[in-house]
Amino acid sequence: MIDHIGIYVRDFELSKAFYVATLKAIGYELLLEIPAAVTGRTDVAGFGENGKADFWIYRGEPNQPPVHVAFRVTTQHDVRAFHEAALAAGGRDNGPPGPRTHYSAGYYGGFILDPDGHNIEAAFHAP
């Protein structure tokens, strides 16, 4: 079981604003910011729900190659809302919301490239 994941972003403030706007559509919020003076290394921001940050961004050189992170959502509507919010926040389309039956019969996902080219997805799995 994965507890949390983090990615490096070039423009911390730009990426933070992007993720605040994008992840709000699926119920995530910015829960914690820790400056480099406290971490001893770099600025970090944690996003999550129910008081638990499980997605983190770190100021620094972006991961190479860019990473793929998928957020599990509870409806197809959530996938569409995520995708629309990400586009409005400056993300680039990397696969519009729709069925992805080559992954599994009930798979429905939408993909966005964040400001650093990370492939960020919202995924719904029908029961």
1 pLDDT higher than 90: no
> Within 10 A of 77 (CB to CB), how many other CB atoms are there?
12
Q: Give the pLDDT score at 41.
A: 96
101 pLDDT higher than 90: yes
Q: What domains sit in the chain, N to C, each tagged with a CATH number?
A: 5-59+67-125 (3.10.180.10)
Q: Three-state DSSP class for 120? A: strand
19 pLDDT higher than 90: yes
Q: Give the pLDDT score at 127.
A: 86
Using alpha carbons, select from 56, 6, 5 the residue that is nearest to residue 33.
56
The β-bridge relationship of strands 68-72 and 119-125 is parallel
pLDDT, tens digit, 9 for 90 and up, residues 46-84: 999 999 999 999 999 999 999 999 999 999 999 999 999
